[in-house]
Structure 1
Amino acid sequence: MRILVGVKRVIDYAVKVRVRPDKKGVVTDGVKHSMNPFDEIAVEEAIRLKEKKIAKEVVALSIGPTQAQETLRTALAMGADSAIHVEVPAGELERVQPLHVSRIISKLATEGKFDLVMVGKQAIDDDCNQTAQMTAAMLDWPQATFASKVEKDGDYLKVTREIDGGLETIKVGVPAVISADLRLNEPRYATLPNIMKAKKKPIKKMKASELGVDLTPTIEVISVEDPPVRAAGIKVDDVDTLIAKLKEAGRV
């Protein structure tokens, strides 16, 4: 089994995001970036499947500017065998939307004869939660989203999914698309020897146009705003006053 894992370079989760003055996005210049946490979980799970001899090769994929290679090197240091970098200039990166990413992944999955596509359930910058579902639709493959456990079960993969009502266990045939949820695993830290080895692992570079994917946006961002400031609370002397205040606010 060959696995293609999507990894996205995003603003680090510990950074306080600031809205740009033009209200069309957030400030990215001079800001620390790292691998999307959910994608890191997807990489870890792919490597674990390889360690269990279920998969024989793990290939990481990232779409973005030159700096995206740093994210790919992290995936290689974790244990991926090789990587693919679809180059998009930093100035055009905001044009890339989940639909474009899905088209690129589906093209590469088909051309590379991959058996499994794994991605994080969503990216922490746009929170779209669309890529896995659209990729599965384009490939006409079964999908197992929000995976919290993945096991081999004969010719199938048994996947435990996190849903609103609890957990759901399904079986999917291969080829398939899986999106990783938070509790699927705990990603490993890359050791220094593996970081050094990652520098020698191949990264194949290409452009979206070579795959026949048009990056013309289909969605226009009207405005990006900071969340409203939370209003200060009040103190009450007793329960009767509390109930009266809640009634006034229409809470009860």
Structure 2
Amino acid sequence: MKVLVAVKRVVDANVKVQVKSDGSAVDLNNVKMSINPFDEIAVEEAVRLKEAGVATEVIVVSAGAAQAQETLRTALAIGADRAILIETNEELQPLAVAKLLKAIVDKEQPQLVILGKQAIDDDSNQTGQMLAALANMPQATFASKIAISDGNATVTREVDGGSETLSLQLPAVVTTDLRLNEPRYVTLPNIMKAKKKPLEKTTPSDLEVDVTPRLKTLRVAEPPTRSAGVKVPDVKTLVEKLKTEAKVL
């Protein structure tokens, strides 16, 4: 079984982002970039399926600037077999990424496609669902457990107030939640091995996909600064302030 995993290069989760002075975008100059945490979970799950003998090949794909090769090499170091970079300097929005992934799915014919449920930079939570619709494949989102047997995927997913279990006929699209697994620590020997693994490059034009942005960002702003808290001497004063000042009671 072939598994395709999509990964995205994003600002590292530990970095405090700053907005450009003109309010046009987030300032990415000299900022540490990493693999999207949800995508790292997706790669880990695919590699575990291979280690369990369920999957035969794990392919990782990313779309973006040339620097996304670093993200793909990280995925290869986790244990993926080969990588595909769709190289472009265009702004890529969820629909464009879904169309690019659809082109790769048509070419590679994977039995399972795994994506992170969302990217931590835009939090769109759209690409996996759009890909499933474009490829006409069943989908399960927010997966906390995945089991594969007899051409079917059994996926436990988190919902409000609990969880539900779905059975999907392969090929299918699954998006990962935080509780699916804990990604392994990437060792130096595996990083060195990843440098020798194949990395194929292509472009949106090669895939005959139009990635022209459909949405326009008008303004980016930092959240307002929170005012300092105050100490109160007793519960009575606290309740009074919640009534008269905060007006939440």
TM-score by length of 2: 0.96
The equivalent of 1:75 in structure 2 is 75
What is the one-letter code of the residue matched to 1:230? R
The equivalent of 1:59 in structure 2 is 59
Aligned-pair CA distance for 1:236: 2.7
The equivalent of 2:46 in structure 1 is 46
Q: Deviations over 1:186-244 (max 9, x none)?
A: 11122222222211111110101111111111111111111111122223333333222
The equivalent of 1:174 in structure 2 is 170
Alignment of 1:1-252 (within 5 A): 1-89=1-89, 92=90, 95-248=91-244, 249-252=246-249
Find the aligned partners of 1:6 and 1:224 in 2 and give their Cα distance. Answer: 27
Find the aligned partners of 2:135 and 2:232 in 1 and give their Cα distance. Answer: 59
Find the aligned partners of 1:194 and 1:153 in 2 and give their Cα distance. Answer: 29
Find the aligned partners of 2:99 and 2:80 in 1 and give their Cα distance. Answer: 22
User: What is the SS of the residue equivalent to 1:40?
Assistant: helix
User: What is the SS of the residue equivalent to 2:164?
Assistant: strand
Q: Deviations over 1:125-182 (max 9, x none)?
A: 1111111111001111110110111112433111110112121111111000011110
Root mean square deviation, CA, Å: 1.2
Question: When the two structures are aligned, how many residues end up with a matched partner?
Answer: 248
Q: Deviations over 1:25-51 (max 9, x none)?
A: 111111111101110000000001111
User: What is the SS of the residue equivalent to 1:201?
Assistant: coil
What is the one-letter code of the residue matched to 2:190? N
Q: Deviations over 1:8-30 (max 9, x none)?
A: 11111111100011211111111
What is the one-letter code of the residue matched to 1:126? D
What is the one-letter code of the residue matched to 1:138? L
Find the aligned partners of 1:155 and 1:2 in 2 and give their Cα distance. Answer: 12
Q: Deviations over 1:75-120 (max 9, x none)?
A: 111111110000012xx3xx21011100011111012111111111
User: Which runs of no fewer than 5 residues in structure 2 stay unpaired?
Assistant: none
What is the one-letter code of the residue matched to 1:194? N
User: What is the SS of the residue equivalent to 2:205?
Assistant: helix
User: What is the SS of the residue equivalent to 1:158?
Assistant: strand
Find the aligned partners of 1:160 and 1:96 in 2 and give their Cα distance. Answer: 30
Find the aligned partners of 2:242 and 2:73 in 1 and give their Cα distance. Answer: 54
